[in-house]
């Protein structure tokens, strides 16, 4: 088993040899704080995609830095041994960074394998992976209810942790039971200028004060979630890839302001498909709630359409209508929002003043 544990530098050399020998290399990573059946299943599936499966495990120092001093529950040396003991895994190493960019660049795996589905990290890693001809592969993680319940029972007596997938990074690890709050932001007409069926990155333009407003929400401790209806995909006007490219441009521009978007949820269906994810449908909100462990009553939705307000109302969130994009003049749903704002910055200021008042 000790033979499976290497350094990243050693694996960089080995991966080069394996590539030259025609072996398919798969890479994935995680904290693996308390290994459960969902992890084992995930890693077994990952192994079926490649000849050699390499797994990166976050160091204790890096987990403490990003998750707080009471984490991880299980120390690095034990976590790495448990992972190495799995038959599906060929090699293990530890790493310090939060993101996988350095790992991917060192190992150049054929497949960068991630848990879950679409996330903001997928967008940034996809670019790096595809640059050398690799591929991002996603495996949905099995929600093992009994394990979750077990861990909750365990944690209620001491460490207060619960098993859910860590947002954005594709890492699997346990997380504080304390609920978060989020700002759900509509994309087109709210964050950026409304362009009819926007699908070209060079037409992506942030409204003045958008980034400043989002940054304020982030600084107030809100998770930043973009939630958008994209019926143009369902109607065949543009592809999902086009949509991702525009998102990448958005993330790039927002990152210049120090903003990290936690999730992007989208409905790709046309209205006539009558799905449950198109706003004001609640499916995407519920997914956000589950994936980020959100308290919706402390969350807010901001948009330029009455459908955004209806979404928030049904979910029990605060609702703020911005006077950009459609300015709430679409007439689709009745009712007043909790507040009106000129833009996202004013929306953030409204929420900030409400929070100060309730303190």
**Residue whose CB is less far from Zn ion, 275 or 346:** 275
DSSP 188: B
In the complex, the smallest distance separating the C-beta of residue 196 from Zn ion, rounded to whole angstroms, is 20
In the complex with Zn ion, the residue whose CB is nearer, 22 or 236, is 236
Q: CB-wise, 275 or 352, nearer to Zn ion?
A: 275
* Secondary structure of residue 110 in the 3-state scheme: coil
CB of 216 to Zn ion, least distance (A): 30
Q: Which of 36, 269 has the CB closer to Zn ion?
A: 269
Query: Which H helix or E strand runs over 88?
Result: none
d(CA 50, CA 30): 18
Task: Decide whether 269 or 289 has the Cβ nearer to Zn ion.
Answer: 269
How far apart are the C-alpha atoms of 161 and 163, rounded to whole Å? Answer: 7
Least distance (Å) from Zn ion to the CB of residue 187?
15
Which C-beta is closer to Zn ion: that of 278 or that of 313? Answer: 278
For 332, list phi and psi in degrees, rounded to 5. Answer: -75, -40
User: How far apart are CB 142 and Zn ion at their closest, in Å?
Assistant: 23
- Tell me the chain's radius of gyration from C-alpha atoms: 21
CA distances to 15, 43, 50, 51, 52 from 22, rounded to whole Å, are 10, 22, 11, 10, 11
CB 120 within 8 A of CB 171: no
Q: Smallest distance, Å, CB 278 to Zn ion?
A: 4
Q: Which two three-digit tokens encode residue 81?
A: 């041994």
Binding site for Zn ion (CB under 5 A): 267, 269, 275, 277-278
Shortest approach of Zn ion to residue 229 CB, angstroms?
Answer: 7
Nearest approach, Cβ of 232 to Zn ion (angstroms)?
Answer: 12
Nearest CB to Zn ion, comparing residues 165 and 278: 278
Which pairs count as long-range contacts for 216-221, CB under 8 Å and 24+ apart, including other chains?
Answer: 216/345, 216/348, 216/349, 216/352, 217/183, 217/348, 217/351, 218/258, 218/259, 218/260, 220/348, 220/351, 220/352, 220/355, 221/180, 221/181
């Amino acid at each position: 088993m000790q033979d499976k544990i290497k350094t990243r530098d050693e694996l960089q050399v080995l991966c080069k040899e394996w590539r030259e020998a025609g072996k398919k290399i798969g890479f994935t990573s995680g904290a693996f704080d308390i290994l459960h059946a969902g992890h084992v299943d995930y890693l077994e599936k990952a192994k079926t995609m490649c000849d050699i499966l390499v797994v990166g495990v976050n160091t204790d120092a890096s987990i403490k830095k990003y998750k707080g001093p009471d984490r991880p529950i299980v120390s690095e040396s034990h976590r790495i041994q448990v992972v190495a003991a799995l038959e599906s895994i060929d090699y293990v190493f530890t790493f310090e960074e939060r993101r996988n960019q350095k790992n991917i660049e060192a190992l150049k795996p054929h497949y960068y394998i991630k848990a879950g589905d679409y996330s903001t990290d997928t967008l940034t890693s996809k670019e790096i992976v595809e640059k050398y001809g690799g591929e991002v592969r996603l495996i949905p993680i099995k929600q093992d209810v009994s394990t979750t319940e077990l861990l909750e029972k365990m944690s209620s007596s001491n460490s207060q942790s619960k098993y859910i997938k860590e947002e954005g990074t594709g890492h699997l690890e346990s997380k504080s039971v304390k609920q978060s709050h989020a700002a759900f932001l509509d994309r087109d007409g709210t964050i950026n200028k409304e362009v009819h069926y926007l699908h070209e990155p060079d037409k992506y333009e942030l409204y003045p004060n958008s980034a400043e407003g989002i940054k304020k929400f982030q600084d107030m401790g809100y998770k930043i979630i973009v939630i958008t209806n994209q019926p143009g995909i369902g109607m065949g006007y543009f592809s999902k890839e086009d949509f991702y490219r525009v998102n990448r441009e958005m993330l790039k521009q927002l990152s210049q302001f120090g903003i990290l978007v936690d999730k992007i949820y989208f409905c790709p269906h046309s209205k006539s498909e009558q799905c449950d994810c198109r706003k004001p449908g609640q499916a995407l909100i519920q997914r956000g709630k589950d994936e980020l462990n959100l308290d919706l009553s402390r969350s807010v939705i901001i948009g330029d359409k009455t459908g955004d307000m209806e979404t928030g109302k049904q979910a029990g969130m605060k609702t703020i209508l911005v006077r950009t994009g459609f300015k709430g003049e679409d007439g689709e749903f009745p009712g007043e929002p909790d507040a009106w704002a000129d833009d996202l910055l004013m929306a953030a200021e409204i929420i900030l003043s409400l929070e100060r008042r309730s303190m």
